[in-house]
Amino acid sequence: MILGRREILRELEAGRLVIKPLSEDSVRENGVDLRAGSEYARLKPCGVAQASQPIPVAYLHPRDAETRAFKLLCVERLHAGDGDWITLAPNSTYLLHTMEWIRLPENMVGFVNLRSTWARMGLMAPPTVVDAGFEGELVIEARTGPIPLRLRPGERFIHLVLAYTASPTTPYRGKYQGQAGVRHAAPD
């Protein structure tokens, strides 16, 4: 069952669902809008001297610790100061985080989608599942189209839809539990 505004507010008031800081106008008809944090990261190939040179044949896989392919992925960490914009270059991949810290109870999962306003401007983000028992800030991958975009920290950019599981489940205890700011993938 997907939670409506009334159920979300009830779960928040009871303390079973935690979203901090929370602006009550972020709780929508069937989910919660979450805002962009000030830290972000651009993912790009590295080790290539000129753009005209091809990237060496390699692949990325999060569980292949033996590969040197992760050395081909550079993470440029960026930070938007007070009043600054988060500027997203065209045709680029970014990691963005939410300014909200969330904690889901063991009987609730979340489904994250980009707000349609951003999708209509060419920003793309794959749908993301937030496991029951997850706690931390969300990190979302976003890809820009051919036109540069910018958003301000604190601006709503994703929508979190919440649903109850059929029964309580084993809570999430993975490597992203408790994350704050941008955390990128690394070999397991």
Q: Residues with Cβ < 8 Å from 23, sequence gap 6 or more?
A: none
Among residues 106, 135, 141, 155, the one annotated as catalytic is 141
Q: Residues with Cβ < 8 Å from 134, sequence gap 6 or more?
A: 102, 103, 104, 110, 171, 172, 176, 177
Q: How many CB atoms sit inside 10 A of residue 110's CB?
A: 22
Contact 161, 2 (CB under 8 A): yes
SS3 86: strand
**What 8-state DSSP symbol labels residue 2?**
B
What Rg do the C-alpha atoms of the chain give, in angstroms? 18
141 as an active site residue: the answer is yes
Instruction: Give the pairing of strands 73-79 and 128-130.
Output: unpaired
Q: Which two tokens stand for residue 79?
A: 């930070």
**What 8-state DSSP symbol labels residue 175?**
T
Q: Which residues are catalytic?
A: 141
